[in-house]
């Protein structure tokens, strides 16, 4: 298993804590907000990276599901509101 560390800065030194220990202390809302911040940061340089080949396959499958009426779209703002309601 990968061990991920998060730097926690104090006045005099930076110390490293295992990411899972930090996550356990966070509320669900804090975790969702952190995910949004990470996603925002990751998508700033989206043109620099190629998507994995399986992404195309998943998109094609999703299109088939939409055409067949098995799934439907929800606008992003509505989805975020729903996620936040469930996180409370």
Q: Which pLDDT value is given to residue 10?
A: 44
Digitized pLDDT (tens) for each residue of the chain, 88 residues in all: 334 444 444 443 345 567 888 888 999 999 999 999 999 998 888 788 888 889 999 999 999 999 999 988 889 999 999 999 998 8
Q: How far apart are CA 71 and CA 85, in angstroms?
A: 22
Cα dihedral 75→81→86→88 (10° resolution): 160
């Amino acid at each position: 298993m990968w061990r991920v560390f998060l730097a926690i800065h104090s006045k005099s030194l930076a110390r490293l804590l295992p990411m899972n220990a930090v996550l356990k202390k966070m509320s669900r809302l804090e975790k969702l907000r952190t995910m949004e911040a990470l996603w925002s940061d990751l998508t700033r340089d989206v043109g620099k990276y190629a998507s994995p080949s399986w992404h195309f396959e998943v998109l094609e499958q999703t299109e088939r599901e939409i055409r067949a009426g098995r799934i439907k779209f929800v606008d992003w703002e509505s989805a975020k509101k729903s996620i936040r309601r469930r996180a409370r």
